[in-house]
Amino acid sequence: MIAPANLLAQTPEEVVERMTAELSKGDSLGMSFDFVMSIPILGEFRSTNYTLGDKLKMELYNDGKKNISWSDGVTDWDYDAETNVVKITNAKPKENKENSGNVGLVKGATEGYDLSFEKKTDDKVWYILCKKNKSNKDKDDPKRMNIAVSKADYSCVYLKAKTHGIGISMENFKIGVTDKQVTFNPADFPNAKIIDER
């Protein structure tokens, strides 16, 4: 049963605004989410991402291969499961910021878009269609996005979009990440070869 207070948000803009407020809790508590990218011919790339302050962890899966990367803003660690090698390098702050910024696509969903509720109904989820409007001059922004928001707590269920033939999906958002989840621990890879390139 949905609490009466949750029914106060009537417009899609209000729903997305409250969803954004929920996502913002991840700024201090940390957040995890899945990111899926579908590229013609190359196939599907899936990653599970964890952020907590300046720390990041990304588990990337593609074609049966797994890579894990960590960063604390100063040092990067990259583990290749196929070769069983961990490479340690100086952090690339700009690149890491861009990786963690994927969630910004959800937070800024209303900017440059006209929002409307989709016709399909669900007692538990709002389905929102975001259509790019004429004020949005960014050629890289998708023409449309689909957002699903929980009616129970305004959490983001998913965001889906397609741009330049590439499909993207962000889903399974969870607020709350521990320091252990975003910290490289060599004890977890006792047989791996570690190469320090700093």
Residue-wise pLDDT for 78-99, tens only, equals 999 999 999 999 987 655 544 5
Domain range enclosing 143: 4-53+106-184
CATH number, position 122: 2.50.20.10
* pLDDT of amino acid 1: 46
- Confirm whether 99 is domain-assigned: no
What percent of the chain is helix, strand and coil (3-state, nearest 5)?
Answer: 20, 45, 35
- Confirm whether 85 is domain-assigned: no
- Confirm whether 61 is domain-assigned: no
- Confirm whether 93 is domain-assigned: no
pTM comes to: 0.81
Determine the Cα–Cα distance for residues 147 and 143; give it in Å rounded to an integer. Answer: 14
Residue 10 has pLDDT above 60, yes or no: yes
Q: How many domains does the chain have?
A: 1
Percent share of the chain, pLDDT over 70: 87
Please return the burial class of 122, using the count of CB atoms within 10 Å of its CB with bins 0-12, 13-18 and 19+: exposed
- Confirm whether 96 is domain-assigned: no
Determine the Cα–Cα distance for residues 105 and 113; give it in Å rounded to an integer. Answer: 12
- Confirm whether 42 is domain-assigned: yes
pLDDT in tens, 117-157: 997 778 899 999 999 898 888 887 888 999 999 999 999 99
* pLDDT of amino acid 171: 93
- Confirm whether 71 is domain-assigned: no
- pLDDT category at 39 given cuts 50, 70, 90 is confident
* pLDDT of amino acid 41: 83
pLDDT in tens, 146-179: 999 999 999 999 999 988 888 999 999 999 999 9
Residue 4 has pLDDT above 80, yes or no: no
- Confirm whether 15 is domain-assigned: yes
Nearest residue to 101 (alpha-carbon basis) of 33, 42, 162, 155:
33
